[in-house]
Chain A
């Protein structure tokens, strides 16, 4: 177990280092941040002064060396645009995104697994067909469009829910959360549904496919023949066995929901990390983009580790790190 975790951490360090190089050179190639940041009325002297203030007067390898040097000490640089530490800026936005992602995943799991089970157990029923058709829509409709439609329907036409923003927040563990206040919760619902739509469809399909396969297995037939209640057969014998693919995919999807909820955050003006990322890319705010992506890599690494650990709990046959060999 410890060997496994250690090996994982080494791999992660290599990934993070490679990522840092890629991101740094990539965004360096796009353009010069000073062309975007500085007032067009500024003369050459002003320009040179601003370039020096931001450290852009050095050649790229020097800038990279400086970056690595301070990154090792935990400092990922200062945002060109906002003038505050980049990592702090990203972390400040993290709770908003995390909250939205978790709400979306919760919706996807709580709705998706029962619906998928139902569709899998009764594939030819009307309900089963409706669920499957619905999931196709969930896959194929673009998030941006669905978001706008949700706003038009529930905020503009019906006036039930707010159109965007985070609403009132309350503090828990020193962090501001929306779900603790009624107003905040109302603001959370539409974006969470929007973000959940795609994942929901995914979970439904996985659960249905799994159910159809497992329901025909001998042990399920045997359980039924033994006279176990249908609830126990579905709840224990089927549900537990369809969870492995669901957990795998959910793990990966949770990472992507946190890291790339850019579209939903833009549509709903949700002050999360995704919105920060897109704005930072447009303004060539290199330290923020690098800090964000490094954080994302770290997040994926951690989630994958957790997923592997959950596997071994769900299925005792799975051994971590190649077991005794």
Chain B
């Protein structure tokens, strides 16, 4: 019985293989699935990856996360608060209608009007105070204050068709645009509004099963090599690797670190890897009463800069990268790797356990204290193992450290309530430049300004805040970079954030394909090319 069944299956598999083998189909196994195809529904990695195939944005990122023209062919700052964008004239939507400035206006108008959005893109549109359209291919965007991040923020969301959604008459209004109705997310999921300007057209979407795209023959940019692209979510690591080895898929995202050796030794597989813009760090809390430190009579030892420096000196980043991350990471000395806008080449970190012990003694903790380190165990690559290694390093200098590793949903809820004195987390700079981590992790939280949104350390340094504020109001790039570098120096000297390593993103694909690895971690089918023979 078993044999008969297997025999039947074999025949079926062979037939299926023979029937569906056109050369130009690319199947990609992804590590996560978008929560919706609506490009403005959820500001989340997998959603943006799906969006980038169908809906282009005004400005784009190249593989190194430098800004490059996309639907806008050029832009310039007319004055401190006025930007002019020249739009491409040769762009058509998937339904054949031309792309114009009205589509951008409609998109910016629609973003605040997505029903049930769990995380909205309004973060990136609220800098816009007014939009003017001198002609259909020119946009003039005004901001309330000097706003150098505007081009980078316009790279975060895709442009939808005003015509397809019936929004040709909608005009921009800072207080809220007027329209009879706004498109629902459902209309994107079922394909009716999947009218974009990207290299691929929507074909089929089965939630949990697959997303099928087909080539857009009228695409204005370089033609992709694939007639059809299939994305299959395979969220478990082992099965995703197995699917690649079995030939079910041609390419996979983020193979697990422990399988790296095996994949390197497999002749039918090639790997591509790139340093990402995500730093894994420890945050040292300076609350008046430390939530997870004992043995100090209720005082918080982390308020003493010497203790913070000692903890940073105790961490051996090279050892973490080599042993825990198996080389698939880079030791970090600040918030973004060299080569990214705002990286300060003069900032260094050191490992020196002897000096760390001496600093603890000077600070009045010769016997150390007890600390619990919080970490997620399923959010970042090997996160809990890294935390264990850090705990051992802390313990070696006399700070007895336990690790509290929980699943991400529990961890983030606890962390956001400041229930950890020290926690491990990661920060991905979506804008690809330094103001993003500085603003979120180090700046003093200000309710409606987007400052300190992930500052769960109670740290507040008015001088640093001032430096950052000046940088964020400086439109000139060279000058802004200098100001950001100075702010990085100040933040690193305070040792509130202890950077550990930069994650390295890996793609594995079958031999014969090549992919330029991207710092923004997105898997873009249009950039996957058959290697030249």
Chain A residues at the B interface, C-beta cutoff of 8 Å: 30-46, 49-50, 53-54, 78, 80-84, 89, 92-93, 110-111, 147-148, 151-152, 154-156, 159-168, 176, 182-183, 185-186, 189, 266-269, 271-272, 275-276, 279, 281-284
Contacts and interface: CB of A to CB of B under 8 A. Distances in A.
A81 B9 contact: no
Contact of A186 (B13, B239, B436, B451): B13
B117 A185 contact: no
Contacts of A84: 185-186, 189
A35 B440 contact: no
12 contacts: A40-B440, A44-B445, A83-B35, A92-B207, A151-B242, A152-B242, A159-B13, A167-B16, A186-B9, A266-B236, A266-B239, A269-B234
A39 B450 contact: no
B462 interface: no
A35 B16 contact: no
Contact of A35 (B123, B232, B245, B413): B413
Interface core residue of B189, B409, B410 (most chain A CB under 10 Å): B409
Nearest to B238: A148
A138 B124 CA distance: 54
Given A35-B409, A43-B448, A189-B6, A83 B15 contact: no
B235 interface: yes
Nearest to B186: A84
Nearest to B247: A159
B24 interface: no
A36 B243 contact: no
A163 B12 contact: no
A267 B236 contact: yes
A148 B239 contact: yes
Contacts of B120: 42, 46, 49-50
Nearest to B5: A189
A83 B115 contact: yes
B98 interface: no
A166 B209 contact: yes
Interface in B78-130: 115-120, 122-123
Given A32-B416, A84-B189, A279-B235, A183 B12 contact: yes
Contact of A42 (B2, B15, B123): B123
B1 A35 contact: no
B207 A185 contact: no
Given A159-B13, A161-B10, A162-B13, 16 more contacts: A30-B413, A32-B413, A33-B118, A36-B409, A37-B42, A39-B43, A40-B454, A42-B120, A53-B115, A152-B242, A159-B247, A163-B246, A165-B243, A166-B209, A189-B9, A268-B239
B206 interface: yes
Contacts of B41: 83
Contacts of B238: 148, 267
B208 interface: yes
B391 to A, nearest CB: 23
Contact of B119 (A31, A37, A78): A37
B116 A43 contact: no
B453 A43 contact: yes
Contact of B243 (A37, A93, A164): A164
B16 A50 contact: no
B245 A156 contact: yes
B15 A155 contact: no
B251 to A, nearest CB: 14
Nearest to A190: B9
A41 B243 contact: no
A168 B206 CA distance: 12
B242 A186 contact: no
Contact of B242 (A111, A148, A275, A284): A148
Contact of B208 (A163, A182, A276): A276
Nearest to B445: A44
A185 B123 contact: no
A31 B410 contact: yes
Given A31-B410, A166-B209, A39 B119 contact: yes
Contact of A160 (B10, B239, B412, B427): B10
Contact of A83 (B16, B116, B378): B116
A253 B239 CA distance: 26
Contacts of A45: 447-448
A182 B119 contact: no
A165 B248 contact: yes
B392 interface: no
B119 A271 contact: no
A34 to B, nearest CB: 8
Contact of A155 (B38, B189, B246): B246
A287 to B, nearest CB: 11
A111 B117 CA distance: 49
B52 to A, nearest CB: 17
A41 B208 contact: no
A93 B407 CA distance: 25
B13 A160 contact: yes
A56 to B, nearest CB: 10
